[in-house]
Structure 1
Amino acid sequence: MRVLIFGATSAIAAEVAKIHAERGDQLYLVGRNAEKLAEVASRLGEKVTTKVADLGDLDANATLVEECIAALGGVDAALIAHGDLGDQLASERTFKDAEAILRVNFTSVISLLIPLANHMEATRQGRIGVITSVAGDRGRPRNYTYGAAKGALNVYLQGLRTRLYAAGVSVTTLKLGPVDSPMTHDHGKHLLFGKPVPVARSIVAAMDAGTAEAYVPFFWRAIMPIVKNTPERVFQRLPFLSGR
């Protein structure tokens, strides 16, 4: 299988790549940091190609996707794994900071999805997986700019999934809870934090099965309906939900 991973240097994406490498799949990894990308690739064997790219360069992403697919000789599965929590307080002070969060977590993902979807629709095969977040299910003061980007992405993926259904292409929305990784190094950890290795296994399993929406770890599927459906007047009075 030919597998394309964007944001391949994240702890989760690196573990996903390892699973595919152990299966003998052909990998094409894209990341921003050349040193980290080389480090990930060094652990995966010979059937891996890498490319350094800034996924925030929106105008270049269509060409990037085309080059990656050409180098692989086609694509069977693509995972979009990049993202950034950003600084919520900064995003409340200036539009520049808010737009940076929206760009990396929403618009840059769309700039990759459009050429990926068009290719897979034309070839009538393939799997697309996109890492979003449980933060997109309800706005909370601590991360609502990031959550808004992920929520918009969830809606986009719903429409894309239905569009590509007729072509036999699956689109999996991967709604991750917090994960104990470098991205959350300054966050206080608790029992609901996932670990990169089991999270990666769940991601691969969901994409293999063509699951529409997967909460990862699985227990968030039970938690988030409560968070989403709590009346706002109650929500605002519960510090563990509405606090910073």
Structure 2
Amino acid sequence: MANRFIFGVTSSIAEATARLFAVDGDNLFLVARDQVKLHIIADDLRVRGAGKVFTAVVDARAFDTHRQIFEDAFTALESIDTILIAHGTLPDQKSCEASFDELRKEFETNGLAVMSLLTHAANQLVQQGSGTLCVISSVAGDRGRQSNYVYGAAKGAVSIFLQGLRNRLSSSGVHVMTVKPGFVDTPMTRDFDKNMLWTTPEKIASGIYNALQKKKDIVYLPWFWALIMWIIRLIPEPIFKRLRL
């Protein structure tokens, strides 16, 4: 039995991952901004076998609340084995191109909020001397594409931040894991055309669960996205900039 903290548990991937933790009888501290959905998920996880389940309502962009939420979680659970940060939005690229205010809002949600949470979480785990920080980034952060470069820039910043944090904490007993999913069929992507590259939140959750057991540093989910993104990163910029991606 482990103690798990999940920020953004109402996201499809986080909820599916929480269900796997619940089956193990883990104690959970769940955070989301939608109180109604949060309580529905918490009740469901209790039925599925979770141990103690605590909840808190926090908005990702409410930066001044981030330190307190981790203090509350450590008070409730006494220690934390895993901190999963899974919140996020999918920006409207055209709106962000037209309005810097919109761009800033989306970058704060998908980038700066994650960095704020990680800063407080890392300090708490270092003091504890153990634990895993697991963050859902995206393959979109591996290279900027005209169709979603605002989202990609935020996720790319998060991935680089995690890389530095992993380097900083390597001797502290704290493990840092970056999760890079590809295309996932969730309510956030319901308007997209689907093909064989798409997968389900449940399969991503299974990949996260297994990667946590193996203490992976960086994991692409499903695995073939590591190969796809390796190829995309190799395309020379003079060619890449002409592609309609």
Please name the residue that 1:226 is paired with: 231
Residues 128 and 207 of structure 1 are in contact (CA less than 8 Å); yes or no, is this contact kept in structure 2? no
Shift of residue 84, structure 1, vs aligned partner: 0.7
The reply on whether 1:124 has 2:119 as its aligned counterpart is no
Deviations 1:55-100 (A, max 9, x none): 1101211112211221111211010000111111111111101101
Please name the residue that 1:40 is paired with: 41
Letter in 2 for 1:232: E
Letter in 2 for 1:175: K
- Correspondence 1:46-85 to 2 at 5 A: 47-85=52-90
Deviations 1:122-169 (A, max 9, x none): 111001100000000000011001100111111110110011110111
Instruction: Tell me how far apart the structure 2 counterparts of residues 114 and 237 of structure 1 sit (CA, whole Å).
Output: 38
Instruction: Tell me how far apart the structure 2 counterparts of residues 237 and 149 of structure 1 sit (CA, whole Å).
Output: 23
Shift of residue 114, structure 1, vs aligned partner: 0.9
Letter in 2 for 1:17: A
Shift of residue 233, structure 1, vs aligned partner: 2.3
Deviations 1:43-66 (A, max 9, x none): 111521111111110121111221
Provide the alpha-carbon RMSD of the alignment: 1.1
3-state SS, counterpart of residue 152 of structure 1: helix
Counterpart of 2:189 (choices 170, 184, 189) is: 184
3-state SS, counterpart of residue 109 of structure 1: helix
Instruction: Tell me how far apart the structure 1 counterparts of residues 228 and 17 of structure 2 sit (CA, whole Å).
Output: 25
Residues 125 and 169 of structure 1 are in contact (CA less than 8 Å); yes or no, is this contact kept in structure 2? yes
Please name the residue that 2:18 is paired with: 17
Identical positions, percent:
43
Q: Which structure 2 segments of 5+ residues have no match?
A: none
Instruction: Tell me how far apart the structure 2 counterparts of residues 44 and 153 of structure 1 sit (CA, whole Å).
Output: 29
Counterpart of 1:197 (choices 196, 202, 208) is: 202
User: Under a length normalisation based on structure 1, what TM-score does the superposition of the two structures give?
Assistant: 0.95
Instruction: Tell me how far apart the structure 2 counterparts of residues 8 and 57 of structure 1 sit (CA, whole Å).
Output: 17
Shift of residue 228, structure 1, vs aligned partner: 1.2
Residues 120 and 126 of structure 1 are in contact (CA less than 8 Å); yes or no, is this contact kept in structure 2? yes
Please name the residue that 1:109 is paired with: 114
Instruction: Tell me how far apart the structure 2 counterparts of residues 47 and 72 of structure 1 sit (CA, whole Å).
Output: 9
3-state SS, counterpart of residue 63 of structure 1: helix
Deviations 1:199-220 (A, max 9, x none): 1010111122111100011110
Q: Which structure 1 segments of 5+ residues have no match?
A: none
The reply on whether 1:213 has 2:218 as its aligned counterpart is yes
Residues 4 and 29 of structure 1 are in contact (CA less than 8 Å); yes or no, is this contact kept in structure 2? yes
Letter in 2 for 1:103: E
Q: How many residues align?
A: 240
Runs of 4 or more, structure 1, over 4 Å off, are none
Counterpart of 2:141 (choices 130, 133, 136) is: 136
